[in-house]
Protein backbone atom coordinates (compact mmCIF):
# COMPACT_ATOMS: atom_id res chain seq x y z
CA UNK A 1 0.00 0.00 0.00
CA UNK A 2 1.26 3.45 -0.92
CA UNK A 3 2.43 5.73 1.88
CA UNK A 4 2.86 8.80 -0.33
CA UNK A 5 1.04 11.91 0.84
CA UNK A 6 -0.46 12.46 -2.62
CA UNK A 7 -2.15 9.05 -2.55
CA UNK A 8 -3.42 8.86 1.02
CA UNK A 9 -4.25 12.38 2.29
CA UNK A 10 -7.35 12.94 0.17
CA UNK A 11 -9.83 13.87 2.92
CA UNK A 12 -10.02 15.70 6.25
CA UNK A 13 -10.22 12.35 8.04
CA UNK A 14 -7.04 11.10 6.37
CA UNK A 15 -5.29 14.37 7.21
CA UNK A 16 -6.27 14.04 10.87
CA UNK A 17 -4.88 10.49 10.97
CA UNK A 18 -1.56 11.56 9.47
CA UNK A 19 -1.32 14.59 11.78
CA UNK A 20 -1.73 12.41 14.86
CA UNK A 21 0.96 10.02 13.61
CA UNK A 22 3.35 12.91 12.91
CA UNK A 23 2.78 14.52 16.31
CA UNK A 24 3.40 11.21 18.06
CA UNK A 25 6.70 10.56 16.27
CA UNK A 26 8.22 14.00 15.66
CA UNK A 27 6.44 16.35 18.04
CA UNK A 28 4.26 19.40 17.59
CA UNK A 29 4.11 21.35 14.34
CA UNK A 30 4.78 25.08 14.25
CA UNK A 31 5.34 27.94 11.84
CA UNK A 32 9.07 27.43 12.35
CA UNK A 33 8.78 24.15 10.43
CA UNK A 34 8.04 26.16 7.28
CA UNK A 35 11.37 27.18 5.78
CA UNK A 36 11.32 30.31 3.67
CA UNK A 37 12.49 28.38 0.58
CA UNK A 38 9.91 26.00 -0.82
CA UNK A 39 12.68 23.83 -2.28
CA UNK A 40 13.35 22.51 1.25
CA UNK A 41 9.78 21.46 1.98
CA UNK A 42 8.64 17.87 2.54
CA UNK A 43 5.96 15.81 4.27
CA UNK A 44 6.13 17.70 7.57
CA UNK A 45 5.53 21.00 5.80
CA UNK A 46 2.54 19.51 3.96
CA UNK A 47 1.04 18.53 7.31
CA UNK A 48 1.82 21.92 8.84
CA UNK A 49 -0.09 23.58 5.99
CA UNK A 50 -2.89 20.98 6.31
CA UNK A 51 -2.77 20.18 2.59
CA UNK A 52 -5.58 17.92 1.35
CA UNK A 53 -5.15 16.47 -2.14
CA UNK A 54 -8.26 17.05 -4.24
CA UNK A 55 -9.41 14.52 -6.84
CA UNK A 56 -8.52 15.25 -10.45
CA UNK A 57 -11.17 17.66 -11.71
CA UNK A 58 -10.38 17.56 -15.43
CA UNK A 59 -8.42 15.43 -17.83
CA UNK A 60 -7.59 18.51 -19.90
CA UNK A 61 -6.53 22.04 -19.04
CA UNK A 62 -9.53 24.21 -18.09
CA UNK A 63 -8.64 26.63 -20.89
CA UNK A 64 -9.32 23.85 -23.40
CA UNK A 65 -12.61 22.56 -21.95
CA UNK A 66 -14.82 24.59 -24.31
CA UNK A 67 -12.89 23.44 -27.36
CA UNK A 68 -14.72 20.20 -28.13
CA UNK A 69 -14.37 20.15 -31.92
CA UNK A 70 -11.46 18.19 -33.31
CA UNK A 71 -9.52 20.36 -35.71
CA UNK A 72 -8.04 18.79 -38.81
CA UNK A 73 -4.90 16.93 -37.83
CA UNK A 74 -1.82 18.48 -39.38
CA UNK A 75 1.11 16.55 -40.77
CA UNK A 76 3.29 18.00 -38.00
CA UNK A 77 1.06 16.43 -35.33
CA UNK A 78 0.97 13.11 -37.19
CA UNK A 79 4.77 13.11 -37.37
CA UNK A 80 4.92 13.89 -33.65
CA UNK A 81 2.63 10.96 -32.80
CA UNK A 82 4.66 8.65 -35.05
CA UNK A 83 7.80 9.51 -33.08
CA UNK A 84 11.40 9.50 -34.28
CA UNK A 85 13.30 6.72 -36.00
CA UNK A 86 15.36 5.15 -33.16
CA UNK A 87 18.20 4.40 -35.56
CA UNK A 88 18.66 8.14 -36.17
CA UNK A 89 18.70 9.26 -32.54
CA UNK A 90 22.49 9.06 -32.27
CA UNK A 91 22.93 11.78 -34.88
CA UNK A 92 23.56 15.46 -34.23
CA UNK A 93 20.89 18.11 -33.77
CA UNK A 94 21.90 19.50 -37.15
CA UNK A 95 21.17 16.16 -38.82
CA UNK A 96 17.83 15.68 -37.04
CA UNK A 97 16.66 19.16 -38.06
CA UNK A 98 17.55 18.46 -41.69
CA UNK A 99 15.64 15.15 -41.45
CA UNK A 100 12.51 16.26 -39.52
CA UNK A 101 12.38 20.03 -39.81
CA UNK A 102 13.31 22.58 -37.16
CA UNK A 103 10.54 22.00 -34.59
CA UNK A 104 10.56 18.19 -34.56
CA UNK A 105 14.33 18.00 -35.09
CA UNK A 106 14.98 20.13 -32.02
CA UNK A 107 12.47 18.04 -30.06
CA UNK A 108 14.00 14.69 -30.99
CA UNK A 109 17.47 16.01 -30.18
CA UNK A 110 16.20 17.08 -26.74
CA UNK A 111 14.63 13.62 -26.29
CA UNK A 112 17.91 11.91 -27.17
CA UNK A 113 19.61 13.89 -24.39
CA UNK A 114 17.44 12.31 -21.68
CA UNK A 115 16.50 8.90 -23.12
CA UNK A 116 18.85 5.98 -23.68
CA UNK A 117 18.77 4.59 -27.20
CA UNK A 118 20.53 1.38 -28.14
CA UNK A 119 23.30 1.92 -30.68
CA UNK A 120 22.44 0.88 -34.25
CA UNK A 121 23.52 -2.67 -35.16
CA UNK A 122 26.81 -3.02 -37.04
CA UNK A 123 26.67 -3.16 -40.79
CA UNK A 124 26.54 -6.71 -42.15
CA UNK A 125 26.94 -6.01 -45.86
CA UNK A 126 30.64 -6.66 -45.69
CA UNK A 127 31.53 -3.00 -46.14
CA UNK A 128 33.81 -1.79 -43.35
CA UNK A 129 33.07 1.60 -41.86
CA UNK A 130 35.34 4.32 -43.12
CA UNK A 131 37.94 5.39 -40.63
CA UNK A 132 39.60 8.77 -40.59
CA UNK A 133 43.32 8.67 -41.25
CA UNK A 134 45.27 9.80 -38.20
CA UNK A 135 47.83 12.43 -39.11
CA UNK A 136 50.94 13.44 -37.22
CA UNK A 137 50.02 16.79 -35.68
CA UNK A 138 53.21 17.37 -33.68
CA UNK A 139 54.92 20.41 -35.19
CA UNK A 140 58.45 21.61 -34.70
CA UNK A 141 58.75 24.07 -31.82
CA UNK A 142 55.59 22.87 -30.07
CA UNK A 143 55.39 20.71 -26.94
CA UNK A 144 53.18 17.61 -26.91
CA UNK A 145 50.52 18.24 -24.25
CA UNK A 146 49.39 14.61 -24.00
CA UNK A 147 51.20 14.19 -20.72
CA UNK A 148 49.81 17.31 -19.08
CA UNK A 149 47.55 16.90 -16.07
CA UNK A 150 44.93 19.62 -15.77
CA UNK A 151 43.94 20.91 -12.35
CA UNK A 152 41.43 23.50 -11.23
CA UNK A 153 42.86 23.68 -7.71
CA UNK A 154 44.22 26.86 -6.23
CA UNK A 155 47.89 27.34 -7.19
CA UNK A 156 48.61 28.39 -3.60
CA UNK A 157 47.59 24.90 -2.43
CA UNK A 158 50.34 23.24 -4.43
CA UNK A 159 53.76 22.52 -2.96
CA UNK A 160 55.43 23.83 -6.10
CA UNK A 161 53.44 26.17 -8.34
CA UNK A 162 55.62 25.49 -11.36
CA UNK A 163 55.92 21.74 -10.95
CA UNK A 164 53.64 19.31 -12.74
CA UNK A 165 52.12 16.28 -11.08
CA UNK A 166 54.67 14.03 -12.76
CA UNK A 167 57.62 16.08 -11.54
CA UNK A 168 58.36 17.33 -15.04
CA UNK A 169 58.13 20.97 -14.02
CA UNK A 170 55.28 21.61 -16.47
CA UNK A 171 51.89 23.12 -15.64
CA UNK A 172 49.40 21.04 -13.65
CA UNK A 173 45.71 20.79 -14.56
CA UNK A 174 43.12 18.17 -13.63
CA UNK A 175 40.34 17.68 -16.14
CA UNK A 176 36.95 17.06 -14.45
CA UNK A 177 35.52 13.63 -15.12
CA UNK A 178 32.16 13.26 -16.83
CA UNK A 179 29.52 11.51 -14.74
CA UNK A 180 26.10 10.10 -15.49
CA UNK A 181 24.88 11.24 -12.06
CA UNK A 182 24.84 14.94 -12.97
CA UNK A 183 21.36 16.48 -12.62
CA UNK A 184 19.29 16.14 -15.79
CA UNK A 185 16.73 18.70 -14.64
CA UNK A 186 17.72 21.32 -17.23
CA UNK A 187 17.63 18.74 -20.03
CA UNK A 188 14.15 17.66 -18.92
CA UNK A 189 12.87 21.25 -18.92
CA UNK A 190 14.39 21.76 -22.38
CA UNK A 191 12.56 18.70 -23.72
CA UNK A 192 9.23 19.72 -22.16
CA UNK A 193 9.58 23.21 -23.64
CA UNK A 194 10.22 21.78 -27.12
CA UNK A 195 7.18 19.46 -26.85
CA UNK A 196 4.84 22.21 -25.65
CA UNK A 197 6.05 24.68 -28.28
CA UNK A 198 5.39 22.16 -31.05
CA UNK A 199 1.95 21.12 -29.79
CA UNK A 200 0.75 24.63 -28.97
CA UNK A 201 1.82 25.96 -32.35
CA UNK A 202 0.18 23.22 -34.41
CA UNK A 203 -3.00 22.65 -32.33
CA UNK A 204 -4.19 26.27 -32.11
CA UNK A 205 -5.60 28.10 -35.14
CA UNK A 206 -3.28 30.76 -36.60
CA UNK A 207 -3.64 34.26 -35.12
CA UNK A 208 -5.77 32.99 -32.23
CA UNK A 209 -6.46 35.33 -29.33
CA UNK A 210 -6.38 34.57 -26.49
CA UNK A 211 -3.79 31.89 -27.04
CA UNK A 212 -2.04 29.40 -24.76
CA UNK A 213 1.68 30.09 -24.73
CA UNK A 214 4.61 28.34 -23.07
CA UNK A 215 6.59 30.48 -20.62
CA UNK A 216 10.28 29.57 -20.70
CA UNK A 217 11.46 31.95 -18.00
CA UNK A 218 11.26 30.65 -14.41
CA UNK A 219 8.90 32.67 -12.23
CA UNK A 220 9.75 33.65 -8.67
CA UNK A 221 6.80 33.90 -6.33
CA UNK A 222 6.74 35.34 -2.83
CA UNK A 223 3.91 35.05 -0.32
CA UNK A 224 3.51 36.75 3.04
CA UNK A 225 1.62 35.10 5.89
CA UNK A 226 -0.91 37.55 7.33
CA UNK A 227 -0.08 38.42 10.93
CA UNK A 228 3.36 36.81 10.82
CA UNK A 229 6.69 38.32 9.91
CA UNK A 230 7.48 35.48 7.57
CA UNK A 231 7.49 35.08 3.82
CA UNK A 232 7.85 32.08 1.55
CA UNK A 233 9.68 31.97 -1.76
CA UNK A 234 9.15 29.47 -4.58
CA UNK A 235 10.54 29.35 -8.11
CA UNK A 236 8.97 27.25 -10.86
CA UNK A 237 10.61 25.94 -14.04
CA UNK A 238 8.28 27.58 -16.55
CA UNK A 239 4.62 27.12 -17.34
CA UNK A 240 1.65 27.80 -19.58
CA UNK A 241 0.05 31.23 -19.86
CA UNK A 242 -3.06 32.59 -21.54
CA UNK A 243 -2.13 35.61 -23.64
CA UNK A 244 -4.14 38.23 -25.53
CA UNK A 245 -2.33 39.14 -28.74
CA UNK A 246 -4.64 41.64 -30.41
CA UNK A 247 -5.84 45.07 -29.39
CA UNK A 248 -5.21 47.02 -26.19
CA UNK A 249 -5.79 44.90 -23.12
CA UNK A 250 -5.31 45.69 -19.46
CA UNK A 251 -5.47 42.00 -18.63
CA UNK A 252 -2.13 40.47 -17.62
CA UNK A 253 -1.04 37.07 -18.86
CA UNK A 254 -2.93 34.45 -16.88
CA UNK A 255 -0.94 31.49 -15.56
CA UNK A 256 -2.89 28.30 -16.21
CA UNK A 257 -0.19 25.72 -15.42
CA UNK A 258 3.20 25.72 -13.73
CA UNK A 259 6.10 23.41 -14.44
CA UNK A 260 8.08 21.73 -11.68
CA UNK A 261 10.99 19.58 -12.86
CA UNK A 262 12.79 17.16 -10.57
CA UNK A 263 16.22 15.54 -10.78
CA UNK A 264 14.68 12.13 -10.13
CA UNK A 265 11.25 10.58 -10.50
CA UNK A 266 9.53 7.97 -8.36
CA UNK A 267 8.21 5.18 -10.60
CA UNK A 268 6.02 2.30 -9.42
CA UNK A 269 5.16 -0.49 -11.87
CA UNK A 270 6.06 1.72 -14.80
CA UNK A 271 3.90 4.66 -13.69
CA UNK A 272 5.39 7.92 -12.38
CA UNK A 273 4.31 8.99 -8.90
CA UNK A 274 4.40 12.35 -7.13
CA UNK A 275 6.78 12.23 -4.18
CA UNK A 276 6.19 14.09 -0.91
CA UNK A 277 9.03 16.49 -1.71
CA UNK A 278 7.65 17.29 -5.16
CA UNK A 279 4.12 17.86 -3.84
CA UNK A 280 5.45 20.03 -1.00
CA UNK A 281 7.42 22.21 -3.37
CA UNK A 282 4.35 22.73 -5.54
CA UNK A 283 2.27 23.48 -2.44
CA UNK A 284 4.72 26.24 -1.54
CA UNK A 285 3.79 28.16 -4.69
CA UNK A 286 1.63 31.17 -3.77
CA UNK A 287 -1.97 30.93 -4.93
In the prediction, which pLDDT does 278 show? 83
Contact in structure between 180 and 159 (CB atoms under 8 Å): no
pLDDT at 281 over 90: no
Vertex 161 angle, CA 155 and 162, to 5°: 140
pLDDT at 259 over 80: yes
In the prediction, which pLDDT does 192 show? 92
What is the number of other CB atoms lying within 10 angstroms of the CB of residue 105?
21
Question: What predicted TM-score, i.e. pTM, was given to this entire model?
Answer: 0.64
d(C-alpha 180, C-alpha 218), whole Å: 25
- Residues 90-118 pLDDT 10s: 999 999 999 999 999 999 999 998 887 87
Averaged pLDDT, 124-151 = 49
Domain ranges of the chain: 5-48, 72-117+182-204
Instruction: Identify each DSSP E strand in 104-224 by its residue range.
Output: 149-150, 172-173, 211-215, 220-224
The SS3 of residue 254 is strand
What is the pLDDT confidence band of residue 287, given thresholds at 50, 70 and 90?
low
Amino acid sequence: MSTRYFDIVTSATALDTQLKAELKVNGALSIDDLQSSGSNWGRRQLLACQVIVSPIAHNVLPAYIKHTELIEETQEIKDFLDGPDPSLMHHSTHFLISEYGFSLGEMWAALAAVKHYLPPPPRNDGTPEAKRVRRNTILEGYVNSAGYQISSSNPEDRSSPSAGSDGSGGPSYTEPELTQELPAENSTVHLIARVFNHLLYYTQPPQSSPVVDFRHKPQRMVSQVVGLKKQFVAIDDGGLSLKVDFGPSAKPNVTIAQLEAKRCLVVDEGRPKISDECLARMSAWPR
